[in-house]
Chain A
Amino acid sequence: MQNLINQTTVLENTWQIVSDYEDDLPQGNILVDAQYWLENKDTLATRKGVSLILSGDTDLESLSADLSGFEVIAVNFPAFADGRGYSLARLLKERYGFQGEIRAIGDVLLDQLYFMKRCGFDTFLLKDGLEAEKALKFFDTFSDPYQLAYDIQTPLFRRKA
């Protein structure tokens, strides 16, 4: 089973990831691929609880007009070593002003949680089998990092001054 957490606690997952687009879409809150959204925007906009899954090659510019309407945006890590999601999360929050929740999904492991948090991820759908309690300890690996990012918006050299 996959645990959903934020930086401090275990959460209930109310968003379902749609993987099969052939059948009718499930009821309740759903996350759909950005491409599917762009192609079916008119129909999807009539229903509540629809949000996006971004992948590494998603062009944020094509979605910019829609972003503010989403409650949650999921960024998919097809493999934990694919680091595009870090840039996407920062751009969503720092460039496009997205104020909702950014959720990491896919190959979400423990040792990357700290970097994800720094880049603006709010929630983390852990890879199947990873313990939520254990994961909560991975958000404060480093107490005072050098760089600015989403979480700390000035670099260390300005903070020290």
Chain B
Amino acid sequence: MYIYDNYDQRIVDERVAQFKDQTERYLAGELTEEQFLPLRLQNGLYVQRYAPMLRVAVPYGLLSSKQVRKLAHIARTYDKGYAHISTRTNLQFNWPELKDVPDILAELATVQMHAIQTSGNCIRNTTTDQFAGVTPNELVDPRPYCEIIRQWSTFHPEFAFLPRKFKIAVNSHLTDDRAATMLHDIGIKIVKNDSGELGFAVYVGGGLGRTPIVASLVKEFLPEKDLLTYLDAVLRVYNLNGRRDNKYKARIKILVKALGVEAFAEKVDAEWQHLKDGPGTLTQEEIDRIKGHFTAPDYEQLDKDSEVLSQQLAENKAFSNWYQRNVSEHKVDGYAIVTLTLKKLGTPPGDITDKQLDAVADLAERYSFSEVRNTHEQNIVLADVKQDQLFDLWQEAKTAGFATPNLGLLTDMICCPGGDFCALANAKSIPVAEALQAKFDDLDYLHDLGEIDLNISGCMNACGHHHIGHIGVLGVDKKGEEFYQVSLGGDSGPDATIGKILGPSFAREQMPEVIGKVLDIYVDQRIEGERFIDTYRRAGHAIFKERVYAKSN
């Protein structure tokens, strides 16, 4: 993983000093609430329903075990003993005191961490595939490009006050897209051109929120060295032309729609002509330097398939279930990728206690070269586990509470903190998730249903990605009462699709029954081996709508 040099460390240290001064001036009344607001936001600090919420940056989801231990320490010392993994792979503390935040940042800086630009109208954390660098069928490891973008975007002086927040994702997988790349302000797909040169297909204007849109292709092939000058051009066009009169129309997707994709692309190209080949052009030395931080760990030479594992799988059904769901193929023989799920019944999705964080660090050190990854589905990945050790790892993970074999299944939901914690929410989301987890707790049934993305957001801001869930649930406010709107057919993969609203919304207590009906229709309609999303696409929206709303006899 990327290790700071003196320059990187100094920038983070100087940020700690800067934010300490800003907080002191605010507490002394020298900065007004309004003036302090964007400063604290750009440092990931929200003022929430009960206390400030501090969002710590986890660049492209990657953490060392040492960093995880520090996060556990912060959860224990400054919070109520737990943290929350966000859908931008960041980590949130829900209960810190404002006056303690400078100290927390100072602690984070000692392990090369910070909260820079995790909120506010600026360039946010760049995300990518949680299996980057270890998954088969990847063009190249996307993480060095994420790190290059991270450095470029950190305190970019021209783009600190954009019309609205700005999110970038990078995908390098040939067939899958685990980073919802097409639903970002900029989605970058790493590609090779006909001459075999590496570069990027650049998509702009995707996003969720009130106006969910899939991003449009604006540059078919951008040479590798031109990445940053082109990003500068896109951001400059947006900074100058994006709407600032209405926050709901301020994202770049609205500008792209208003100008039309072609006109937008031309404007960016015209701007880029001035920047192209200038000093912002990446050097091979820099690309190599960053890539040098993402080399393969010291893998052992192992057989492709472990006999020990085969035997353990044959002997233990529970282990086999977990293996089927939560273990993914690794590109190196004898290794596997493990996803530890944070979706246990009775726990809000993405929440993790200080003890669990320490346990994750322990497991990473013993089984996976001391590295950990957060996923945008709010789970945790150990990316380099020897197949022979999966059984031992599974037993330990079970004890720690994150071996629920439900990865990708209905109960592996994405859910925002919702009205229980968030000041923006129209409705609670966690109780809905819990009611669904409680109703659908039969693992055999869940396995029979197969892969279903169920995403829940407490409001239009769509932090729970409801638009791109195969089943999406959105909390809405109707005359002061909480209701829930269901949408079907969303998809975050390469064929990114925005879900379609089923019909009038439901009361919270109806939700388990409604989702139950949707699932019954699927089971009734599916052809052998068909996933929920495939059945939905084939059978059509109408049949779901008709049957869910049909009067019961």
Contacts and interface: CB of A to CB of B under 8 A. Distances in A.
User: Which of A82, A142, A149: most chain B Cβ within 10 A?
Assistant: A142
Given A141-B14, A142-B11, A148-B279, A81 B156 contact: no
Contact of A143 (B14, B157, B274, B285): B14
B369 interface: no
Contact of A84 (B240, B285, B286): B240
A106 B285 CA distance: 43
9 contacts: A80-B38, A83-B161, A83-B162, A88-B240, A95-B274, A114-B157, A145-B11, A147-B157, A161-B286
Given A80-B161, A81-B121, A157-B286, A145 B279 contact: no
Interface of A: 56, 80-84, 86-88, 90, 95, 109, 111-112, 114-116, 118-119, 141-149, 153-158, 160-161
B49 interface: no
Interface stretch (B147-155, B344-352, B409-417): B147-155
B285 A147 contact: no
Interface of B: 7, 10-11, 14-15, 18, 22, 35, 38-39, 121, 151-152, 154-162, 228, 236, 239-240, 244, 274, 279-280, 282-283, 285-286, 289
Given A142-B11, A143-B14, A144-B7, A86 B157 contact: yes
Contact of B10 (A56, A86, A144, A153): A144
A119 B160 CA distance: 11
B155 A86 contact: no
A153 B279 CA distance: 7
Nearest to B163: A83
Nearest to B160: A115
B158 A87 contact: yes
Contacts of A109: 35
B11 A83 contact: no
Contacts of B154: 146
Nearest to B157: A118
Contact of B239 (A81, A83, A142, A153): A83
A157 B286 CA distance: 6
Given A83-B159, A144-B7, A146-B155, 15 more contacts: A81-B38, A81-B161, A84-B240, A86-B161, A87-B239, A111-B39, A112-B161, A114-B157, A141-B18, A147-B156, A148-B280, A149-B158, A155-B152, A158-B283, A158-B286
Contacts of B160: 83, 86, 112, 115
A145 B157 contact: yes
A111 B157 contact: no
A142 B389 CA distance: 46
A80 to B, nearest CB: 7
A126 to B, nearest CB: 13
B538 to A, nearest CB: 47
A138 to B, nearest CB: 9
Given A155-B279, A156-B7, A142 B155 contact: yes
Contacts of B22: 111
Contacts of B285: 157, 161
A148 B278 CA distance: 10
A38 to B, nearest CB: 19
A144 B11 contact: yes
Contacts of A82: 161, 244
A43 to B, nearest CB: 30
A153 B157 CA distance: 13
Nearest to B39: A111
Lowest 3 A-B CB distances belong to which pairs?
A83-B161, A118-B157, A157-B286
A147 B152 contact: yes
Contacts of B157: 86, 114-116, 118-119, 145, 147, 149
Contacts of B162: 83
A119 B158 contact: yes
Nearest to B285: A161
